[in-house]
Structure 1
Amino acid sequence: MTEERKIPWGAVAIGAVAVLSCAGMLAAGVAMMRPAKNVTPEDKLASRIQGIRGMPVTAPDCAPLLHGEQPVVVLVMGQSNAANHAQPAREPAPPMPVLHDGGCGLSSAPLPGGTGTGGSLWPSVNQALNGRWQGHPIVWSVIAVDSSTIDEWAMPQSPLRQYWQMQVDRIKGTHWPVVAVLWQQGEADARDRTAMADYRDGLAALRAGVVARGIDAPWWVARSTHCPPHDGGQVREAVRQLLVIPDSGFVEGPDTDQIPAAERDGCHFTAQGVNDAAALWVARLKPVASGAAGVPGVAASGVAAGK
């Protein structure tokens, strides 16, 4: 009788692991030899745009809050301090009507249309305005992307320009008049040391692009450049020059650079900073929203001003 030969399975297992390990090392080596994919600035911007919050599926519809009245739209555009990158408010404001992707729902911060998961200025501003603009209910629309520069907003082939064009077209599709555009941006251009003339011309071109798509409302421009250690003097001067041009369509917004460092988390607002920045916006907007006259560059009737 022949002896049965026993196979040393432990040795086989060890050998198999060694083969697989070598194969993995070989694959990793091949991958390392492949040229890395170049990530372009456009790729990075597109990734940030993908971070824009959509309308929650559970958001109640706007219609009951509008009570059958003609609403008007206040459009917010800008970067992180126009979006949802602040600290959450200590006492959150009630949900407000927000228009996004052509649909209107009630939302509190973080708001649809902006990047970030934190707090936002606009619910507090809406609450202080009693949700009304010259007798009409306000519907807010936010288009705000963190770290976005004026070039990314204005350049013809920019993914951000393509995005805001789509959103503006959807706003126009509601046939609700836009009565104001609130521009809160500038920190990224302070960081990049954008020249004064380049920022001035870029912002003028951006507004012209929005007007060309049918929204010819006044632009309320904040001085919003504070992001240590960068100097926003060039951006501030660009805003000053635009504001003194007759019939430029630009109106002086708040100087949120005056919010102190103690009310900031780096470039962004703390909960107290949100309260103070919102109060600065309300001080600028309330005279017009309440129907008072005498604000340069703004029509007496908000509904007539927004087309």
Structure 2
Amino acid sequence: MVLFTFGQSNSANHGVGKYQPEHQVYNYFEGRLYPSSDPLIGATGYGASVWNRLADKLIDEKITTKVTLVPIGVGGVEIAAWAKGGYLYDKLTQTIAQLKEQGLIPDYILWHQGETDNIKNTSKEEYIRQFETIREAFRSQGIESPIGIAIASYHPECIDSEDGNDSQIREAQQALCKKYSDLFIGPDTDKLNKALHRPDGVHFSHIGLDAHADGWVKAIKKVR
């Protein structure tokens, strides 16, 4: 199974600690495969990611026998950075083109992003519009893999909204999955908002990362 993963810090290596997969898990970077471990090559941060844990769990569940991760997440970015016209759009399209050229087609594309757009007060309509250009980056190159969208907006700097979540971002993520049959809802990580999940208020502990990974396993099982 090949998993293409991106978004902002919680899609990258900004979690607490480091995790070493127990099974056959690989990290793709610039045309080569490496034995996978935290921190993943290709994403920002020097700590732990959710993806190695997810890979082990998918293998434990006998959904696959090995996993290749293609991680390009970047900490602190808004959705506009990945969308057409954004400074990460070329990184996205070039990675897609390279994978296609090498015949390494993702089975699932997994997106976790929204916290920065909570801070920026991005509207539901704008978030949807921006993500549609991200979706089209894959579809225009013939990559039809299902795209999972985590429900993610929680940020402790936004607790004035009562719970730190952003209804506009959450509604946009849900609306995208209703609008397009090739998109599916991932885990609702806004619910992982306790100190045991996020010791710094933003990034996940090992408990939070395990719960995050469990959420992706459930989501993938629903669309298989």
TM beyond 0.5: yes
1:127-179 per-position Cα deviation (integer Å, ceiling 9, x unaligned) = 011189855632110110011111111132x3211111111111112212221
- CA distance in 2 between counterparts of 1:271 and 1:138 reads 21
**Which residue identity lines up with residue 245 of structure 1 in the other structure?**
K
Does the alignment pair 1:187 with 2:121?
A: no
Could you tell me which residue of structure 2 aligns to residue 113 of structure 1?
42
Shift of 1:101: 0.7
Residues 113 and 153 of structure 1: is their aligned pair in 2 closer, same or farther, counting only changes over 3 Å? same
Contact 1:132–1:138 (8 Å) recurs in 2: no
Q: What is the TM-score when the length of structure 1 is the normalising length?
A: 0.66
Counterpart in the other structure of 1:238: 172
- 2:26–2:68 CA contact under 8 A, matched in 1: yes
- Partner amino acid, structure 2, of 1:224: A
| Higher Rg | 1
Equivalences for residues 5-24 of structure 1 within 5 A? none
State whether structure 2 residue 211 is matched by structure 1 residue 279. no
1:207 counterpart residue number:
135
Partner of 2:161: none
Secondary structure at the aligned position of 2:66 is classed as strand
- Find the partner of 2:72 among 129, 143, 146: 143
* 3-state SS, counterpart of residue 139 of structure 1: strand
Are 1:93 and 2:26 matched, yes or no? no
Which residue matches 2:162?
A: none
TM-score (norm 2): 0.89
Runs of 4+ more than 6 Å apart: none
Partner residue of 1:65? none
Q: How many residues align?
A: 215
- For 1:109 and 1:202, how far apart are their aligned partners in 2? 30
Distance 2:148 2:35 in 1: 24
Partner amino acid for 2:135?
A: R
In structure 1, give the amino acid aligned to 2:190. Answer: D
Give unmatched runs, 5+ long, in structure 1.
Answer: 1-71, 288-294, 301-307
**Higher relative contact order (Cα pairs below 8 Å, separated by 6+ residues):** 2
| Matches of 1:133 and 1:142, distance apart in 2 | 22
Alignment check: 8 A CA contact 1:74 1:180 kept: yes
2:89 is the counterpart of 1:154: no
1:97 CA drift (Å): 0.5
State the 1:185 CA deviation: 0.6
**Counterpart among 162, 171, 174 of residue 102 in structure 2:** 174
Q: CA RMSD in A?
A: 2.0
Q: CA deviation at 1:215?
A: 1.5
Deviation at 1:92, TM superposition (A): 3.8
Shift of 1:121: 0.5
Equivalent pair of 2:21/2:36 in contact (CA under 8 Å): no
CA contact (8 A) 2:108 2:145 kept: yes
